[in-house]
Structure 1
Amino acid sequence: MKQLEMKLAKWEFRGCGDEEWLPATVPGTVHTDLLKNGKIEDPFYGTNEHNLQWIDKKDWEYQTTLQLGEEWAGLSCTELIFEGLDTYADVYVNNVHVLAADNMFLAWRVDVKDQLKIGENNIRVRFRSVVKEDLLKLAKLGYTLPAPNDQSELGGLDEQRISVFARKAPYHYGWDWGPRFLTSGIWREASLEGRDEVQITDLYIRQNVITKEEARLTAVIEVDAPTAWQGMLRISADGLEWMRTVTLEGGKQQVEMDIVIDQPQLWWCRGLGEPHLYTFQADLVQGKEAIISRSVRTGLRSIQLIRERDAKGTSFSFALNGVPVFAKGANHIPNDSFITEVTEERYRHEIVTAVESNMNMLRVWGGGFYEEEIFYKLCDEYGLLVWQDFMFACSMYPGDEAFLANVKKEAEYNVKRLRNHPCIALWCGNNEIDSAWSQFEENMGWGWKEKIDAEHRASMWADYEKIFHHILPEAVTAFHPGVDYWPSSPLRDLTGNMDQHATRMAGDGDVHYWGVWHGIEPFENYNTKVGRFMSEYGFQSFPELKTVMSYAEEQDLELTSKVMLAHQKNGRGNLLIKEYMDMYLPQPKDFKAFLYMSQILQAEAIRIAIESHRRNKPYCMGTLYWQMNDCWPVASWAGMDYNGRWKALQYTVRASFKDVLLSIDGTDRERIDVHVVSDLRRAITAELMLRLYKFDGSVLREWTHPVELGADSTAIVFSSPVVELLEGHGSDEVVLEISLQADGQVIDRKVHYFVPETEIPLQHSVIKINETPDSGGLSFTVTSDVLARGVYLISEDEGIFSDNFFDLLPGQSKTIVFSQRGKDGRDWTPAVPKGLKVQSMVDFVSEDLL
C-alpha cells in the first residue's frame, strides 16, 4: 500500500493583471502578504485602515509549483486539499479548472489525478473580490438585508451592506470593536495526498451513555476504499482493545463498533475535577499489520442544557456528568483581524489567562469563525467548556437555494470537525438575531422589520426559520447527538409567540443585558437586572499606554483625535466612558491618566455585575462577560488587550470568579449585606473577620462571625444597618475590611467604602516595594503610608502580577509575585520584573481634587 502526502509550499501572489509575482506565506492573507513585502503600511497603525480599503476591490491570485516523482504514478486517488480558502476561489491545476470554492468555513478536497503529471506542475488559486461578487447579489436581490455592523461606508460602499451574502467571517466587514479588513487568501493548510488503498477519513467517538460506572460508546469510522476490502477493525484506547471483522465495498462508507469502558475516568471542567483525556485509535488490520490508522483525543463526559420549570420560570443551566455547573467566563472573539497571525503561543496565553482567571467556560461568538483546532485542544486540556455559536450574527440572511445548501454543508462539516472535543457544551444558532428582529412583537427589537414591507418581512422570517430552526439543529442532531442546540442568543424559548424573544428581563432563557453601557443605565442596575443565564454584558476601557502608543503618536493622545476615534468603533464609545467616569470616579488629570481611570471604571462595573450574578445562584447559573480579548489594539470591552496585556478588568475577574467568593452588597446606603458564594462540592466552615479602619490605618473596631456554608450554595452571612457599624464615625472617614478565613488561610478579602467613589479622600502616598527575604527577587511586598487606591504595578517586561489595581490600607502589606509565559506559552512561571514601578490613583487625578 502506498500513502503519500506533500504540503504545498513556496507560494507567490499578485493582483490579477499585475506583472510582478511576490513571495507569499501560506497559510496567510493578501493583507499580510502585502505588508511583509513592504507594499502597505501597518494596517493597525493610526488611520491606515481607512487607506487600505482598495485591497478588497481587487482580484488576487496565488501560485506554486509542485515537482512530482515517479512514486506518484499509478495511484488510485490523488487529492488536492485546501483546509480553508477565503472566500470565492477558483483553483487550477496545470491551467485546468478543478475547483470553485465559495465558503471560508469549509475544507475542499478534489481528485486531481487526471490533471497532474510526473515532473513539474502548476497550482494556481484565483480569489475573486467578495465586494465585486456580492454587489451583484445585492443588486439581484433588489432590497437590503439588515446588517448594522457592516461598515460599508468605511469600505466606500455607502449603505450597500453585502456582508450577509458571503459565508465569510462577519467581523471582517467591521464590528463595534474591530476594523474592516476583507481578507482573502489560502488561510489554512494546503496539501496534496495520494493513495492506492483504503483510507480512514474520519473517526468519531459517539458518547451514548456516560456514568462513573461505565461509558457506553460507539466508534464511528468513515472509510474510503478504492476497491472492495476485507480485514479487521481494531479500536484501542489507553491499553484497552476491541476488534471485529469488516467487509468494505468500493467507495465511501461508514463502519460502527460499540465499545464499553468500565469505571471510566471522566472529563471535568476547571473547578470540578481533572479534564482527563483518552486517545482512541482505529486501525484497519490485515494479517498482523495495521495498514492504515487514525486517532482522536477526547474526554468522556455527559453535558446537558437543563431547562426545567420552577416557581420563577424556566431554568437555564449546564450539568456536567450530572453535576450543576455555574458557568463563569467570557465571550471570545477572534484574536486577530488576520487569523493566520495567531500562533499557538497566543492561543495558549488566552486559554491560560482564562484558567488563571478561574473561568470554566468561553463562548465562541457567532461573528467570527469556527476556531482553529488548537483552540479547542487547549480548552479540552485545561478544562474549559465552550459555548459554540454558528457563524451568524446581528443580520438577516438570504434564503435562496444555493445559500441554504452552502449553510447545510458548512454546518455538517464544522459539527463533524469539532464533535470529538469534550469541551463543546452547546451549539447555538446565531448571535442576537431573534431578539433583533423580534418577529412576534411589532415595536420591539432593533427596528429592522418596521422598515420593510409585509411581503419581504414574511420571506425574511421564513428564511431565518429555515436556517436556525431546521438546517442547523438537524446537523447537530445528526452529527453530534448528546449536545444541545439553542437557536439564538439571547432567547427565552422557542414558543412561536412574543414569549420567545429576550427583549426584556424574564425568568427564562439567556440574557444579553446592555442597559449599562448602551442604555447609559447606572452600574447599580447590575444588582437588579439579573436573568437565568447572563451570556453577554460589558463595559469598555482603553488599553494601557504602551499598547496605545503602538498605534498613536503623542499628538494623537486626545479623546476625540482622528486616531483615537479610528480605534474606537462604538460610535459614542469614548464619550460614554467619560460620561460614566464623571459619575463614578475622580477627574483624571490628562489623557494618559484617563487610560488608567477607564480601566478602573471598567473593572468596577463588571465586578458589580459578576458578584450580583453569583449571589443570585441558583436562579442565575451563568455569567459570561463581553469580552475576553481583542482582534487589534483598540478601546473595547476586552479584559485582555490585543497584545495579551491584562487590564484592570482581568485582575478583577480573577478575584470575582474565585470558587469561594466574599461579596458585599451596599447598594442600599443604609445597610450592608455580606454574602458568601461557594462553587465547591463540599460544605465549608469558616470565620468572618470584620475590621473598621480610619483612613490613617488605625483600627476602630474588630469582631468575628462564624460561617457555615453548604456545598454549591450562597448565603447572606452577615447583615447590619450602616449606622450600627459606624458607631458615630463619619462615613467619609472610615473603611470596612472583611475577610473570610479557614484553617488559618484567607479565602477571600474585600474592602467596603460607605460613600461613593468620588467622595473617598485621596492623599499623596509613599508606596514602598521590598523584596521578600529568601525569595531570590521572585516575591516582593508592597506597603503604603496612607490609604492607596488602585495600586498599579508596572514592569518593563511582559507578564502578569499575582494582583494589581488593588487598594492598600496603611500598615498593611501585600505580597506580590510577577510571572511570565514560557517560550511555548505554557503556564506562567515566577520571574524578576525588570524596571518595576508603582503608582496609585492619586498619581492620576487632578491636583485640585487633593
Structure 2
Amino acid sequence: MANTTLTLSEWQFRGLEEENWYPAVVPGCVHTDLLRNQRIPDPFYRTNERELQWIDKQSWEYQAIFDVPAEWIEESGLELVFDGLDTYADVYLNEHRILSADNMFRGWRVDVRGLAQPTGNVLRIQFRSPVLEDLPKLEKLGYALPASNDQSEIGGMGDKKVSVFARKAPYHYGWDWGPRFVTSGIWREVRLESWSGCRITDLYIRQREITAEAAQLTAIADIQSDGPKDVFLRLLAGAQVWSLPLHLEEGVQTVRLEVSLDHPELWWCNGLGEPSMYTFTAEICDVADGRDVLAERHVRTGLRRVRLVQEPDSFGASFYIELNGVPVFAKGANHIPNDSFLTEVTSERYRHEIMSAVESNMNMLRVWGGGIYENDIFYELCDENGLLVWQDFMFACSMYPGDKAFLTSIREEAAYNLRRLRNHPCIALWCGNNEIDTAWSQYNENGGWGWKKQYTSTQREQMWSDYEAVFHRLLPEVVTEHAPDAAYWPSSPMVSLGGDEKQHATSNSAQGDIHYWGVWHSGDSFESYNVNLGRFMSEYGFQSFPELDSVLRYAVQEDLELESEVMRAHQKNGAGNRIIKGYMDRYLKDPKDFPSFLYMSQVQQALAMKAAIHAHRRKKPYCMGSLYWQMNDCWPVASWAGLDYYGRWKALQYEVKRSFQDVILSVDGSIGGYLDIYLISDSPKPVSGQLTVELLELDGGCLRSWSAPVGVGSHTSGRVFTLPANQVLEAADPRKAVVAVKLEEQGKVLCSAEHYLVRDRELELAAPHITITEESGSDGTCFTLQTDVLARQVWLKTGEEGIFSDNFFDLIPGRPKTVQFLERPPTGKRFVPGHPPGRVRIQSMTDMI
C-alpha cells in the first residue's frame, strides 16, 4: 500500500497565439515569467505599470512534460492536484480536457487514471484573459456594480470594472496603494499523487472545550479506502495514544474520535504567555498487525478557547477577543499581500513581516479581504509566534453578483479555505467582507459612499438581496458547517445585524467595530482620534513615503519632486501627496528638500498613529482593539504601511513598537486644557511604581517636577496624574519646553515618554550636537548617544539591512540613550545582534529644515 507524490516543476509557457515556448517558473505568473525572459521591463520601475496593461488582454499557455512510475499506473488512485490556478484555466492531459477552473482561491483534484501513461505525459494549462472573460458578464448584467478601487482606466478599460465577476484577488485590479497587474498563471504547487489501500484526506482537531484542567477534543478524520477492510484509527499526541476500531467501505467516510488531554499547555498570544503547540498524528493501522501503518496524517495546532465577546453594557455592547478566559486588547495592523506578484514572496519575506510584528509588540494581524487567503507559512508563523488573526473572506469595497454559478463558486471557495485553515489556533474570527455594509448603507438613504443613488429601486433591491445571500446566509452557514466553533462577523466595520440604520458603523459607534478615516480622507486633526472612538478600531491610518534608498529603487534623481510623473504614479491615492503636504503645513516645519520631505512624511505618519493608538489604549476597556492600516506594501509606493516594500522599518514601525508595549505612560493635553497622564497596562499583574513628571527646557534644565506613587490593576488603563496645562507651564514658553515622564520601580525605569504642549511647527529647536560611542563588549552592535540640546526624532541609518532596538526617538540632554543594531537575518528568524553595522549616520529634525 502506497501514498506517493511527484511535484511538477519543469514548465514552459507562451502566448496562446505564439509559436515559441519560453522557460517558466512554477509557482509563478505570466508577468514574472515575461520579466525573467527579458520580454518586459521591471513592472515597478518608474511608470512601467502603464506600459504593461496589454498582458491581461491576452491568453497564455503553460506546459509540462513528465513521466509516471509504471507501478503508479496500477494503483487505486492517481490524481493531479492543483493548489492554485489563477484564474480561468482549461487543463489538458495528453489532449484530454480534464478541468475547467474558475476560482483562484481554491484547489482542484482530478482523477487521471486511464489518461496518464508511463512516459511523455503532456500537461497543458490554457489561461484565458480574466478581463476578456468577464466583459460579457458585465454586458449581460446591463449595469455596472460598484467597484471603487478597480483602476479600469489604467487598464485601458474605461469605466468597465469587471473585477467583481472574478473570484480572484481584488487588489490585482488596482487599489489606492497598489498597481493594476491582473495576473494569470500557476500560483501554487501542481503535483501528481498516487495511493492504494487507504489514505487520510483530512484531519481536523475540533476543540470542544478548553480549560487549564482539561482539553476536550474531537479528532475528525476523512478516510478514503479502495475497498472493505477492518482497521483501527490511532491518534497520537506526545506520549498519549487513543484508538478506535473501524470497518472501512470503499469510498470516503468521516470518523470521529473523542479524546481528552489533562492539564494541557495552552496556546497564548504574544504578551500573555507562550504559544504552545501540539502535533497530532492520525494513523490507520492493520487489525492483524498494529505496527503496520497503512496511512497517516499530521496536524499541528495549539489548544485554546477563543471567542468574540459581544455583550450589552451601559454604553451599547462590547466587542473584543477573549483568549482562554482573558480579555485581549488587540494590538496590530491590517495585512495585505506582500507583493503584486504573489509567488515572489519568499519564506524569508513572510518571516520578516511576522518577526517585525512580534518585535513591534503586536498580538494580532488582520488578513484584509481584498487580497488572498494567505499561504500556509503565514498562518504557521502566526501560530508559532502568538499572533492572532482576524481573517476576512476575500471580498472588499464592491458589490458582487448573486447568480447561482457565482454563489456555488463562493461556497466551494469558503469550504476549501475553512477546511485548510481551521486547525490554526491563531485564527480568532472570520469576517465576511471589508467595508461593503458601510459603503452600501442599506438602511440609511443618505448614508454610505453614495452607491445606492446610481441605481433604480429594482436594481437596488436585487443588489442588496445578493449581498444578504452571500454575507448573511451563505458564509455563516459554511463557517458553521466546517469550523463550528469559530466566530463570524458579516462585514467590517459594522454595528450589528439590526435590520435598520443603526446596523451601520459611524466614527464613534458604541458597539461593533469601526474604520475611522476622518484623519486623512476628511482632513480631521490628529486630536480627533481622542473623540472618534469605538469598541474596536479595526482600521485607521496615515500615509508616508519610503526612505530615499527605497525611492531610488523605482525612481531617478530627476523624479525626486512631489508632483513629478513618477511620484504621482507611485501614489495611488489620488490627492495623497497633497494631503501629506497639507497636514505637514499644519504640524511640521517645512522640509528643506525632497529627501527631507521623505523623512518628515515618516515622522508625521508616526505622530498621527501615536495619537490614535494612545487614544485607543487610554479608553481601555471601552475600546479593546487597535489595528492600524497597514502593516506592509505590495510594491514600492507612498502608502499607509509601516514596513515599506523592501521590508525597511519606517518611523511608524518604531513608534508602534513603543506604543504597543505592554506597559506605557500616555500623556494627553495641550495649552488651554489639562495635562493628563495615563498608566496603561496589558499585563496580567497589577503595575505600580514612582511616577516622575518634569517640565524641561530644551537644553535639559529642569523648570519644575512632580513625583507620586501610582499604580493600576491588570489589563486596564487609569489616569494617574492631572494638572491644568497652564499650571504646569506657569511662565515657561511652551515652544521651548518638553514634559518628560517616567515610571520607576525600585530604581528601574519601567516606561517613559515625552510630550510637547505645542505642535512641532511651533517648537523652537536648536541644532543638536549628538555624540555616539560604541559600547565595549558589544562586538560593535551597541551604541550610546548623547546630545547638548533636545534632538527631536533622531534617525539612525546604516548601510546594512536590519533595525535598531529604537529609532526616530527624542534625545534629551544629560540623558544618554543606548541602542542596539539588530540585523535582518537571511533565515527570517527573530532579529538578533549580528555583524557590526559599520558607520552609523545620525540625523534629527533640525537637519531636515
Normalised by the length of structure 2, the TM-score is 0.99
Shift of residue 740, structure 1, vs aligned partner: 1.1
SS in 2 for 1:272: coil
**Residue 243 of structure 1 pairs with residue 246 of structure 2:** no
Deviations 1:646-676 (A, max 9, x none): 0000000000001001000014633200000
Aligned mate of 2:690, from 684, 687, 692: 687
Distance 2:820 2:116 in 1: 60
Distance 2:786 2:697 in 1: 17
**What letter corresponds to residue 285 of structure 1 in structure 2?**
C
Distance 1:206 1:14 in 2: 46
**What letter corresponds to residue 686 of structure 1 in structure 2?**
G
2:495–2:513 CA contact under 8 A, matched in 1: yes
Distance 1:526 1:489 in 2: 19
Aligned mate of 2:594, from 579, 591, 596: 591
Deviations 1:730-765 (A, max 9, x none): 222222211111132212111122222111112122
Shift of residue 684, structure 1, vs aligned partner: 1.6
Residue 194 of structure 2 corresponds to which residue in structure 1?
194
* Structure 1 runs (4+) greater than 6 angstroms displaced: none
Residue 368 of structure 1 corresponds to which residue in structure 2?
371
Aligned mate of 1:572, from 563, 570, 575: 575
Residues 1:505 and 1:684: Cα distance change in structure 2 (over 3 Å) = closer
1:662–1:676 CA contact under 8 A, matched in 2: yes
**Residue 27 of structure 1 pairs with residue 31 of structure 2:** no
Map residues 403-418 of structure 1 onto 2, 5 A cutoff. 403-418=406-421
Higher mean alpha-carbon deviation, 828-837 vs 452-461, is at 828-837
Deviations 1:791-844 (A, max 9, x none): 110000010011111111122211010001222110111131123100111111
Residue 848 of structure 1 corresponds to which residue in structure 2?
none
Deviations 1:219-243 (A, max 9, x none): 0001111212211100000111000
Residue 143 of structure 1 corresponds to which residue in structure 2?
143
Distance 1:614 1:529 in 2: 13
Map residues 155-304 of structure 1 onto 2, 5 A cutoff. 155-286=155-286, 287=289, 288-304=291-307
Aligned mate of 2:804, from 801, 806, 809: 801
Shift of residue 189, structure 1, vs aligned partner: 0.5
1:524–1:667 CA contact under 8 A, matched in 2: no
Aligned-pair Cα RMSD in Å: 1.0
**What letter corresponds to residue 124 of structure 1 in structure 2?**
R
Map residues 312-323 of structure 1 onto 2, 5 A cutoff. 312-323=315-326
Aligned mate of 2:350, from 347, 372, 381: 347
Residue 676 of structure 2 corresponds to which residue in structure 1?
673
Residue 330 of structure 2 corresponds to which residue in structure 1?
327
Shift of residue 197, structure 1, vs aligned partner: 1.7
2:320–2:624 CA contact under 8 A, matched in 1: yes
SS in 1 for 2:410: helix
Distance 1:540 1:636 in 2: 5
Shift of residue 503, structure 1, vs aligned partner: 3.7
Deviations 1:525-568 (A, max 9, x none): 00110001000000000010000000000000111111000000
**Residue 549 of structure 1 pairs with residue 552 of structure 2:** yes
1:669–1:754 CA contact under 8 A, matched in 2: no
Distance 1:182 1:433 in 2: 22
Distance 1:506 1:2 in 2: 58
SS in 1 for 2:734: coil
Residue 837 of structure 1 corresponds to which residue in structure 2?
841
Distance 1:119 1:599 in 2: 58
2:67–2:117 CA contact under 8 A, matched in 1: no
**What letter corresponds to residue 393 of structure 1 in structure 2?**
A
2:47–2:569 CA contact under 8 A, matched in 1: yes
Residue 496 of structure 2 corresponds to which residue in structure 1?
493
Aligned mate of 2:454, from 451, 454, 461: 451
2:226–2:250 CA contact under 8 A, matched in 1: yes
1:274–1:383 CA contact under 8 A, matched in 2: yes
SS in 2 for 1:543: coil
Distance 1:668 1:262 in 2: 58
Shift of residue 120, structure 1, vs aligned partner: 1.2
1:275–1:381 CA contact under 8 A, matched in 2: yes
2:672–2:726 CA contact under 8 A, matched in 1: no
Shift of residue 268, structure 1, vs aligned partner: 0.5
SS in 1 for 2:792: strand
Deviations 1:115-170 (A, max 9, x none): 11122110110000001100111111111000010000000000000000010000
Map residues 120-135 of structure 1 onto 2, 5 A cutoff. 120-135=120-135
2:698–2:737 CA contact under 8 A, matched in 1: yes
Distance 1:758 1:504 in 2: 28
Distance 1:159 1:152 in 2: 6
Higher mean alpha-carbon deviation, 105-114 vs 225-234, is at 225-234
2:507–2:516 CA contact under 8 A, matched in 1: no
2:770–2:787 CA contact under 8 A, matched in 1: yes
Residue 781 of structure 2 corresponds to which residue in structure 1?
778
Aligned mate of 2:699, from 677, 696, 703: 696
Deviations 1:587-634 (A, max 9, x none): 001111100000000000000000000000011000000000000000
Shift of residue 307, structure 1, vs aligned partner: 0.5
**What letter corresponds to residue 9 of structure 1 in structure 2?**
S
SS in 2 for 1:563: helix
SS in 2 for 1:807: strand
1:415–1:479 CA contact under 8 A, matched in 2: yes
Unaligned runs of 5+ in 1: 846-850
Higher mean alpha-carbon deviation, 3-12 vs 531-540, is at 3-12
1:231–1:245 CA contact under 8 A, matched in 2: yes
Distance 2:244 2:40 in 1: 59
Normalised by the length of structure 1, the TM-score is 0.99
Residue 424 of structure 2 corresponds to which residue in structure 1?
421
Sequence identity (%): 57
**What letter corresponds to residue 304 of structure 1 in structure 2?**
R
Deviations 1:293-344 (A, max 9, x none): 0000000011111001111001101100111000000000000000000011
2:285–2:295 CA contact under 8 A, matched in 1: yes
Higher mean alpha-carbon deviation, 820-829 vs 528-537, is at 820-829
Residue 112 of structure 2 corresponds to which residue in structure 1?
112
SS in 2 for 1:571: coil
Map residues 3-42 of structure 1 onto 2, 5 A cutoff. 3-42=3-42
Deviations 1:362-400 (A, max 9, x none): 000000000000000000000000000000000000111
Higher mean alpha-carbon deviation, 664-673 vs 27-36, is at 664-673
Distance 2:45 2:317 in 1: 48
Residue 605 of structure 1 corresponds to which residue in structure 2?
608
Higher mean alpha-carbon deviation, 737-746 vs 507-516, is at 737-746
**What letter corresponds to residue 438 of structure 1 in structure 2?**
S
Distance 1:434 1:752 in 2: 39
Distance 2:184 2:746 in 1: 58
1:444–1:503 CA contact under 8 A, matched in 2: no
1:302–1:482 CA contact under 8 A, matched in 2: no
Shift of residue 715, structure 1, vs aligned partner: 0.8
Shift of residue 292, structure 1, vs aligned partner: 0.7
**Residue 723 of structure 1 pairs with residue 713 of structure 2:** no
Distance 1:754 1:3 in 2: 69
SS in 1 for 2:146: coil
Distance 1:402 1:797 in 2: 52
